[in-house]
Amino acid sequence: MIYVTKKVSFSASHRLFNPTWDNEKNEEIFDKCNNQNGHGHNYVLEVTVKGFPDPDTGYVFDLKKMKRIIEDHLLKFVDHKHLNHDVDFLSGIIPTAENMAVKFWEVLQEKFEPASLHKLKIWETENSMVEYFGDKVHIQLYDEQ
């Protein structure tokens, strides 16, 4: 088994806020990430697929094609957007890096055949990141963000 990773970046804003909590609890839990107008990050996303090299090309998956898939199915929807308001597939969730990883997986999971999606890594800052391997995770949905 061989693993191939494509790294891309995007900029987006979000607000971490649980609409079932009062302002005091949101401030206590989410601190400055609860800014009513949101705040931004320059995210780095690493998408890793796994598989066996094609005997004719030597590729597990063509990196140019991988980049195009990530751009067409994900980046064009999140880059320079407010994740709470502008991204349909994130609607109703708290857009933490953890929840974003699960939703990004759902968007990308079937796009890399014959290889398969192995891991998503989202860097929110240069010191903070989330890894997700596709395990079933329940994300709480809220009516209002």
- Beta strand ranges found along the chain (DSSP E): 2-14, 39-51, 81-82, 116-125, 128-132
Beta bridge partners of residue 46, listed in sequence order: 7, 121
**124 catalytic residue (yes or no):** yes
Question: Which backbone phi and psi does 4 adopt, to 5 degrees?
Answer: -125, 130
**82 catalytic residue (yes or no):** no
**118 catalytic residue (yes or no):** no
**Distances 135 to 6, 59, 91, 113 between C-alpha atoms, Å:** 21, 26, 21, 19
**Active site residue: 39, 80, 106, 113, which one?**
80
Q: How many CB atoms lie within 10 A of CB 142?
A: 13
Q: Give the whole-angstrom CA distance, residue 141 versus residue 94.
A: 8
Within the chain, where are the H helices? 23-30, 63-70, 76-78, 97-108
Catalytic residues: 33, 80, 124
